[in-house]
């Protein structure tokens, strides 16, 4: 069964640097990092010490609140460094891979007979951490049964990798992963595709939805709000398609295999294309994509709206399948906002005339940088200005203000359960008042977590 959802609101930011659909290389790095900060809600307890050797799939970190939840190493090798930040906050466990990879063997002979065995296997392999629980976008709680599980098989984020290229050949693994996931819920597993002809449209045992529209149509949060909205007391789980494949591979082979295709893209990327790499691959091993001068580029694990700045010394994230390289916009622009036309800058606002330019030069992409293009102000534009890019049934400005005020009741009323910061990233992008809306939402979510605990 397939349902169609057509979303009118949204915005595709025409940023240059789309990755060519070819795999440039398989990056075998001499360092792989396990980063606890990738997992929201994880209170990490270190299980290894410098010098310990680990196999692919052996535990590196455990959650202090729920020791069943562990984070495992994607490679076999030796722990060479434990990186800590301010107040000794654990940032990364760096593992030097062995020449010859050893894998932990997980018993998957029981198949998908019942939820408990599936759960046990996922927890032991560390792939449990791939499941994100909403509301709040935290690691799923193994003790709960979610109302439904959602998988968005495509991303509409700027320069996002094309999943039919990255995962199109792994349909079997994905079907297997979906079978495993469907044991975990009494409700449905919803799979969203962007086209009826998508390679991911024909999975069995799931409900397929065709969602068409501009960004954020591919965000699973937006899809949930149109399929089965989250209300107070609901729990749903989401998981990204790359990790569904990893789960499928786990059940097929009994081994943890996190290799994935990562798009290295962005206006400052040299010959943007795809690589094959593990999560936690150091950005330094992607040097060929950003050149020698790193002073003026920003390296982001993820997309330009919600990704994390890692810098040259950082690593790719556990959930990310995209590395974006973009120029830092330190230049002043004389009479910038006063010029009648600013054809080299993109604006979705009609006060610039790029929307006319769109008719003349369709498909034009802009060489964007990280300039803020203004200064911080109070919110001036009204709610519907932000709602233009948010295809969800909520009032965004009211939600921002409720979060700023820390008013729990109002946050609940205006839909804090339905959103994650990434869903409102476009509101932040178009905001002429240059507020950090994703931080505002994130602070709201942190407050909810604290108060609801």
Partner 1 sequence: MNKIFEKGGKLYWLHSTADAFQTFLAVPGTVTGRGAHVRDAVDLKRIMIIAVISVVPALLFGIWNTGYQHSLAIGATPLFWEDVWYGLLKIIPLYLVSYVVGLAIEFASSQIRGEEVNEGYLMTGMLIPLIVPADVPLWMLAIAVAFSVIFVKEVFGGTGMNFLNPALFTRAFLFFSYPNDMSGSQSWISLRKDEALIDGATGATPLSFTTDGFDALQSAGAQYGTGFWDFFFGAIPGSVGETCVIAILLGAFILIWTGVASWKIMLSSVAGALLVGGLANLAGASDIPCHYHLVMGGFAFGTVFMATDPVTSAQTEAGKWIYGFLIGAICVTVRLFNPGYAEGMMLAILLGNCFAPLIDHCVISVHLNRKSRKSKLA
Radius of gyration of the chain (CA): 22
Query: Cβ distance 309 to 298 under 8 Å?
Result: yes
- Residue of 82, 83, 210, 430 that binds partner 1 (CB under 8 A): 430
- Residue of 238, 306, 310, 322 that binds partner 1 (CB under 8 A): 306
Interface with partner 1 (CB under 8 A), residue total 72
**What is the largest distance, in Å, between two alpha-carbon atoms of the chain?**
68
The contact pattern for partner 1, residues 204-243, with x = CB under 8 A and - = no contact, is: ------------------------xx-x------------
- Residue of 105, 333, 446, 451 that binds partner 1 (CB under 8 A): 333
- Residue of 311, 358, 376, 406 that binds partner 1 (CB under 8 A): 376
Q: Rule CB under 8 A: is residue 352 a binding residue for partner 1?
A: yes
Q: Rule CB under 8 A: is residue 196 a binding residue for partner 1?
A: no
At 222, list the tokens: 């937006």
* Least distance (Å) between residue 315 CB and partner 1: 18
Nearer Cβ to partner 1, position 248 or 421?
421
Q: Rule CB under 8 A: is residue 432 a binding residue for partner 1?
A: yes
* Least distance (Å) between residue 211 CB and partner 1: 18
How far apart, in whole angstroms, are the C-alpha atoms of residue 431 and residue 423?
Answer: 14
Q: Rule CB under 8 A: is residue 359 a binding residue for partner 1?
A: no
At 72, list the tokens: 């495992």
Cα separations (Å) of 423 from 339, 349, 396, 400, 430? 32, 20, 10, 13, 13
How far apart, in whole angstroms, are the C-alpha atoms of residue 71 and residue 59?
Answer: 6
Q: Rule CB under 8 A: is residue 438 a binding residue for partner 1?
A: yes
Give the sheet arrangement for strand 32-34, strand by strand: 32-34, 90-97, 77-84, 53-54
- Residue of 219, 324, 420, 444 that binds partner 1 (CB under 8 A): 324
Cα separations (Å) of 136 from 41, 103, 287, 423? 9, 33, 35, 12
Q: Rule CB under 8 A: is residue 187 a binding residue for partner 1?
A: no
Cα 315 from chain centre? 15
Put residue 284 in one of left, alpha, beta given phi > 0 → left and psi -120 to 50 → alpha: alpha
Q: Rule CB under 8 A: is residue 265 a binding residue for partner 1?
A: no
Of residues 37, 33, 236, the one with CA closest to residue 134: 236
Q: Rule CB under 8 A: is residue 284 a binding residue for partner 1?
A: no
Q: How many residues does the chain have?
A: 453
At 287, list the tokens: 């040097």
Footprint on residues 94-123 left by partner 1 (CB under 8 A): none
Strand partners, 56: 103
Give the sheet arrangement for strand 44-46, strand by strand: 44-46, 59-63, 70-72
Nearer Cβ to partner 1, position 67 or 376?
376
How far apart, in whole angstroms, are the C-alpha atoms of residue 34 and residue 95?
Answer: 8
- At residue 178, φ and ψ (nearest 5 deg) are -65, -40
The contact pattern for partner 1, residues 11-50, with x = CB under 8 A and - = no contact, is: --x-x-----------------------------------
List of E strands, 160-302 = 189-193, 207-212, 236-238, 260-265, 273-277, 297-301
- Residue of 337, 361, 405, 406 that binds partner 1 (CB under 8 A): 337
Nearer Cβ to partner 1, position 292 or 380?
380
Put residue 271 in one of left, alpha, beta given phi > 0 → left and psi -120 to 50 → alpha: left
Nearer Cβ to partner 1, position 360 or 372?
372
The contact pattern for partner 1, residues 386-405, with x = CB under 8 A and - = no contact, is: -x-----x-x-xx-------
Stretch near partner 1 under the rule CB under 8 A, chosen from 87-95, 128-136, 251-259, 336-344: 336-344
Nearer Cβ to partner 1, position 76 or 442?
442
Q: Rule CB under 8 A: is residue 368 a binding residue for partner 1?
A: yes
Q: Rule CB under 8 A: is residue 336 a binding residue for partner 1?
A: yes
Nearer Cβ to partner 1, position 130 or 299?
299
- Residue of 63, 320, 369, 423 that binds partner 1 (CB under 8 A): 369
The contact pattern for partner 1, residues 71-90, with x = CB under 8 A and - = no contact, is: --------------------
* Least distance (Å) between residue 332 CB and partner 1: 4
Nearer Cβ to partner 1, position 246 or 425?
425
User: How do beta strands 77-84 and 90-97 pair?
Assistant: antiparallel
Nearer Cβ to partner 1, position 195 or 393?
393
- Residue of 214, 252, 342, 365 that binds partner 1 (CB under 8 A): 342
Those residues with Cβ within 8 angstroms of residue 359's Cβ, 6 or more apart along the chain or in another chain: none
Helix (H, G, I), strand (E, B) or coil at 347: coil
Q: Rule CB under 8 A: is residue 449 a binding residue for partner 1?
A: no
- Residue of 96, 413, 447, 449 that binds partner 1 (CB under 8 A): 413
């Amino acid at each position: 069964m397939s349902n169609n959802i057509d979303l009118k609101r949204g915005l595709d930011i025409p940023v240059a640097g789309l990755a060519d659909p070819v795999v440039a290389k398989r990056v075998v790095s001499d360092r792989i990092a396990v980063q606890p900060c990738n997992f929201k809600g994880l209170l990490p307890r270190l299980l290894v010490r410098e010098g310990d050797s680990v196999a692919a799939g052996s535990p590196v970190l455990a959650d202090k609140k729920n020791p069943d939840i562990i984070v495992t190493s994607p490679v076999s090798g030796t722990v060479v460094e434990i990186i800590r930040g301010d107040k000794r906050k654990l940032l990364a466990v760096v593992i030097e891979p062995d020449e010859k990879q050893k894998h932990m063997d997980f018993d998957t002979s029981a198949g998908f007979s019942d939820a408990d065995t599936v759960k046990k296997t996922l927890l032991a392999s560390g792939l449990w951490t791939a499941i994100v629980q909403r509301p709040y976008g935290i690691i799923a709680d193994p003790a709960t049964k979610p109302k439904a599980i959602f998988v968005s098989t495509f991303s509409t984020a700027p320069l996002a990798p094309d999943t039919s290229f990255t995962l199109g050949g792994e349909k079997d693994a994905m079907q297997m992963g979906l079978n495993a996931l469907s044991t975990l819920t009494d409700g449905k597993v919803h799979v969203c595709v962007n086209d009826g002809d998508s390679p991911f449209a024909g999975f069995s045992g799931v409900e397929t939805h065709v969602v068409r529209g501009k960004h954020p149509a591919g965000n699973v949060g937006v899809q949930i709000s149109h399929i089965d909205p989250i209300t107070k007391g609901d729990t749903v789980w989401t998981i990204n398609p790359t990790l569904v494949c990893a789960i499928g591979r786990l059940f097929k082979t009994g081994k943890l295999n996190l290799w994935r295709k990562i798009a290295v893209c962005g206006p400052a990327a040299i010959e943007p294309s795809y690589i094959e790499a593990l999560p936690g691959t150091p950005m330094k091993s992607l040097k060929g994509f950003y050149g020698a001068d790193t002073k003026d580029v920003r390296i982001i694990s993820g997309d330009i709206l919600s990704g994390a700045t890692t810098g040259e010394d950082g690593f790719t994230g556990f959930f990310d399948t995209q590395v974006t390289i973009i120029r830092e916009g330190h230049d002043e622009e004389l009479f910038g906002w006063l010029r009648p036309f600013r054809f080299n800058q993109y604006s979705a606002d009609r006060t610039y005339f790029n929307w006319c330019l769109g008719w003349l030069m369709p498909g034009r992409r802009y060489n964007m940088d990280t300039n803020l293009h203004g200064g911080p102000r109070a919110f001036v534009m009204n709610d519907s200005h932000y709602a233009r890019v948010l295809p969800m049934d909520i009032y965004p400005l009211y939600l921002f203000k409720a979060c700023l005020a820390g008013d729990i009741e109002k946050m609940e009323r205006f839909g804090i359960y339905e959103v994650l910061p990434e869903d409102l990233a476009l509101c932040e992008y178009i905001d002429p008042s240059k507020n950090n809306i994703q931080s505002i939402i994130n602070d709201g979510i942190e407050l909810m977590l604290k108060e609801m605990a």
